[in-house]
Structure 1
Amino acid sequence: MAGKKSSKVRVQEAIDALGLESEVVTMPDTTRTAEDAAAACGCAVDQIVKSLIFERHDNQHLVLLLIAGSNRADMDLAAKVIGSTLDRADPKKVRSETGFAIGGVAPVGHLCPMEVYIDPHLLTFETVWAAAGAPNAVFMVEPQALMKATDAKPLSVG
């Protein structure tokens, strides 16, 4: 498998290509949970971007929800906004279509295009931290810039 890029390298290349001013940082400890990531990054739990992958029930396409660290995805609201109920995505499908394993999914650098929706609470912060393709890799970004770079739609109605 010579020449295969690591997920962290792919995320950094995506950050650069999207014009986001950020660097992937490898932390000494895990950032797998929002609480662990907040402790490692020295920020509030809500400044952690959880990248959650679901599958649309109507066409089986993957959908990415960017959710603030202490929030849970509101599946009823998501169904109204997206126009389809969402099912839990199979980890093998997530890995093959995005290039990321569950637990290390980044908001950028996916192998496939997908719909992206963002928790409006993330937009209340100056900066947020997101996973960067490994259990201990993160990057800091302005949430408005992340929303624009991922073409994310707000996960709210009205």
Structure 2
Amino acid sequence: MSTHPNVQRVADALAAAGANGRIRILDEAVPTAAAAAAELGCEVGAIANSLIFDGDGTPVLILTSGAHRVDTAKLAAELGLTKLKRATPEFVKQHTGQSIGGVAPVGHPAPVRTLVDTALDQYAEIWAAGGIPHSVFPTTYAELLRVTDGTPVVVN
């Protein structure tokens, strides 16, 4: 089976950043935190959901614990944005090159402003999407901050 181009881009970005985790291809798609946690046998909170938002026309990637919802009004105010709204599938694809349900924290055509939920710090191992809904990779909170050049935030 050949590697999907999105998975290869993510793998290349992880390798270039010196990340330790390797992408794992799953038999079934895991487009939600609950599905990923069930497949991987971990807590839903240890899943780093990659959520793209439209912040006044600019993409904002929020890597949130699967156990949390993002308080968009709170974060918009903290970021100095008029509004932070859930992006359309087209907006997500345009800015990440990936589709909703498999958006990875890295491997995008251009850097995307990234915020990382501080709640993820409580887990020794975090799982993130690998570019398609059938792929994931293990990482740590510190590594996730480093490879994404992310900013720690409380999302809820």
TM-score past 0.5 threshold: yes
- Secondary structure, aligned partner of 2:119: helix
1: CA distance, partners of 2:78 / 2:62: 12
- Residue 53 of structure 2 contacts residue 87 of structure 2 at CA under 8 Å; is this kept in 1? yes
Give the root-mean-square deviation of aligned CA atoms.
1.4
Runs of 4+ deviating beyond 6 Å: none
1:81 positional shift: 2.2
1:79 positional shift: 1.1
- Secondary structure, aligned partner of 2:54: strand
2:54 counterpart of 1:43: no
Residue 98 of structure 1 corresponds to 96
- Secondary structure, aligned partner of 2:45: helix
Residue 133 of structure 2 corresponds to 135
Q: How does 1:48-87 map to 2 (within 5 A)?
A: 48-57=47-56, 60-84=57-81, 85-87=83-85
1:107 positional shift: 0.5
2:152 counterpart of 1:154: yes
Letter matched to residue 73 of structure 1? V
The aligned length equals 151
- Residue 6 of structure 2 contacts residue 97 of structure 2 at CA under 8 Å; is this kept in 1? yes
- Residue 46 of structure 2 contacts residue 123 of structure 2 at CA under 8 Å; is this kept in 1? yes
- Residue 72 of structure 2 contacts residue 85 of structure 2 at CA under 8 Å; is this kept in 1? no
- Residue 55 of structure 2 contacts residue 85 of structure 2 at CA under 8 Å; is this kept in 1? yes
Residue 22 of structure 2 corresponds to 23
Greater displacement, 79-88 / 120-129: 79-88
- Residue 63 of structure 1 contacts residue 114 of structure 1 at CA under 8 Å; is this kept in 2? yes
1: CA distance, partners of 2:136 / 2:120: 16
Letter matched to residue 16 of structure 1? A
1:30 positional shift: 1.9
TM-score scaled by structure 2?
0.91
- Secondary structure, aligned partner of 1:72: coil
- Secondary structure, aligned partner of 2:107: coil
Greater displacement, 73-82 / 124-133: 73-82
2:7 counterpart of 1:8: yes
Q: Which consecutive unaligned segments of at least 5 residues does structure 1 have? A: none
